[in-house]
Amino acid sequence: MNRIVETARKAGLDGFMLGLISMIFLAWLWPYPGMKESPVPLSEISTYAVSIIFFFYGLRLSAEKLRAGLVNWKLHVTVHFSTFVLFPLLALACRSLFKTEESQSLWLAIFFLTALPSTVSSSVVMVSLAKGNIPAAIFNASISSLLGVFITPFWMGLVMESGNTDFDMLSVVIKLSLQVLLPVFAGILLNKKYGHFAESKKKYIRYFDQSSILLIVYTSFCESFGEHLFSSLGWEEIVLLAIGMLALFFGIYYLLTFISDLLKFNRGDKVTAVFCGSKKSLVQGAVMSKVLFSGAQAGLMLLPIMIYHALQLIAASIIAQRMAAEVKDETVNEHVLNKK
């Protein structure tokens, strides 16, 4: 149990998650500072902070690592097919279960979760723990973040336009490119000169990342609580949402296990496929919710991804520990047989 707790802590399930819950509670108690009427532009500050996050992300990402990862194309296609196709299709298949206007808003938030890219840090941590293909995990998680700038708005545009909602995909992509892609590529270009600095300060950069996300969550939920957007959601709905998020994770996990066996992946690639392909990024969700949705709606859009983020870390850490134990047992058995 201690090892599971330690793994979850390394992946981000620690004080940060408590901080997220605290930000929601604070927004409920005191929404005014995060609303448009506030004299302090917290929302604008968080926008600039996000660009700094992605600059440091690019600064730690060398072009050599990206080039080296291009070889294993079957694994990459599997991961991104799961992230950007399987997930949204599952959400679309469940749309008919959400019949009322209020529940359709919740479904849109769930669909937004399914259209998001994979997360970087926790995917690599879990693959490393389960003795998977770490270079491939780094490559897939990194490329997923970049692809998400284009694919997530595309999916959201299709769904929102079908619901008679105005959605200017071009302006969204341009805004995300300026806010995400430009800082990432600037960081990559400066990697050779300053990459070592970013690596040496990654602990402090992580604190900055988490603080920025806490600020985004706070401002998003301030608008939502200020306009009483959650008045139709009770504890029963939130519990059902959590159960649904857990079912979504395991559904994708077992689908990827089946696909990996079908494609005859070796063990390392299979581990990478199931962990990278089943994750969703809270960072990208926070960033894109500010761009895609205005005002109070952003808080509701973040609710499923926050729940999924917590549950995916718990479930994945348990699975990764089990996989690591299996490898250890196999190694011990081989050692005993060799001695005989």
pLDDT at position 68 is 63
Contact 55, 187 (CB under 8 A): yes
Which range has the top average pLDDT, 142-146, 228-232, 277-281?
Answer: 277-281
Tell me: the pLDDT tens digits for 142-171? 888 889 989 999 999 888 866 555 667 778
> Which residue has better confidence, 79 or 191?
79
In percent, the amount of the chain with pLDDT more than 70 equals: 85
Task: Give the least confident one: 89-93, 96-100, 246-250.
Answer: 96-100
Angle 266-270-273 (CA atoms, 0-180°, nearest 5)? 140
In percent, the amount of the chain with pLDDT more than 90 equals: 22
pLDDT at position 326 is 78
Q: Mean pLDDT across the stretch 112-135?
A: 84
Q: How confident is the model at residue 178 (pLDDT cuts 50, 70, 90)?
A: confident
Q: Mean pLDDT across the stretch 2-30?
A: 71
Distance (Å, whole) CA 13 – CA 314:
8
Burial of 271 (0-12, 13-18, 19+ CB in 10 A): buried
Number of domain units in the chain: 1
Which CATH number is 220's domain given?
A: 1.20.1530.20
Buried b (16+ CB within 10 A) or exposed e, 281-319: bbbbbbbbbbbbbebbbbbbbbbbbbbbbbbbbbbbbeb
pLDDT at position 335 is 46
Task: Give the least confident one: 124-133, 179-188, 261-270.
Answer: 124-133
DSSP designation for 287 = H
Q: How confident is the model at residue 176 (pLDDT cuts 50, 70, 90)?
A: confident
DSSP designation for 117 = P
Say if residue 14's pLDDT is above 70: no
Distance (Å, whole) CA 271 – CA 198:
28
Q: Mean pLDDT across the stretch 92-115?
A: 89
Say if residue 337's pLDDT is above 70: no
Domain encompassing residue 292 = 2-339
17: which residues sit within 8 A by CB, 6+ positions away? 310
pLDDT at position 316 is 84
Locate all alpha helices (DSSP H) within 60-163, ordered by sequence: 63-68, 73-81, 87-93, 101-115, 121-129, 134-162
Q: Which two tokens stand for residue 108?
A: 């849109």
- φ/ψ of 66, rounded to 5, equals -65, -45
pLDDT at position 332 is 47
Which range has the top average pLDDT, 40-44, 68-72, 193-197?
Answer: 193-197
Distance (Å, whole) CA 275 – CA 119:
10
In 3-state terms, the chain is what percent helix, strand and coil (to 5)?
A: 80, 0, 20
pLDDT at position 243 is 94
Q: Mean pLDDT across the stretch 191-202?
A: 84
The three-state secondary structure class of 150 is helix
Say if residue 3's pLDDT is above 70: no
Distance (Å, whole) CA 146 – CA 276:
15
